[in-house]
Structure 1
């Protein structure tokens, strides 16, 4: 009989022997199972690549969300910390019609230029605006700050 690993003739009394020695038996076993391990490693590598790709997409989405939140925070800081005067009515005339826009432009009490606090005071006390109208005013003021 010949060795399964090297092909040499096996000498000896036992006919059931398949290898010349234990080293060839071990080498043959490794050679047979190496292909299986390679396939397992390749499939594991592919799974890891997919996982990395998914994580990269998640990271990119989180970075975009972080940027959006930073921009929103900057706008909120400008909105609450800015005490400059603006020509809000002139800007408002260029905007699309709405009930609040028409109400503000029809009012003769609003100054042409003022700070946000002064406009808010006029809206609350002079025009008796509802909380929803005050929210809409805040939204319009933020839009003006962005433009």
Structure 2
């Protein structure tokens, strides 16, 4: 049910590929989707060396993401800010889950949703309204415009 949810959310059809069909593909991100307690148990069994090569975090209770190191929102926003000639203080990012941590850590104005991960709120400069209350729009109106 979570796979279908994600497929619908991002308007991306679901395709089945065999390992042989994927052997020549560069995989940048793997997303594991299951019940939260199953993912939490799986996290406990991830070998330590995986954390040296990959960023591993949950983006929702039922999504576990595995990405190549330095392929994250923090690297992307840093690259974009450099291209645009923006200083750290001129950047803002808005997030709510662990997959947003790298992005929130590199900007001068990290904003976390009211219903966001409590650990992320510790690094936030601002807390905005929840996702259900148009928190992104509120943050932009309040701290940008």
Shorter-chain TM-score range: under 0.3
Q: TM-score, normalised by structure 1?
A: 0.22
Q: TM-score, normalised by structure 2?
A: 0.22
Instruction: Say which structure is richer in strand.
Output: 2
Greater Rg by CA: 1
Instruction: Say which structure is richer in helix.
Output: 1
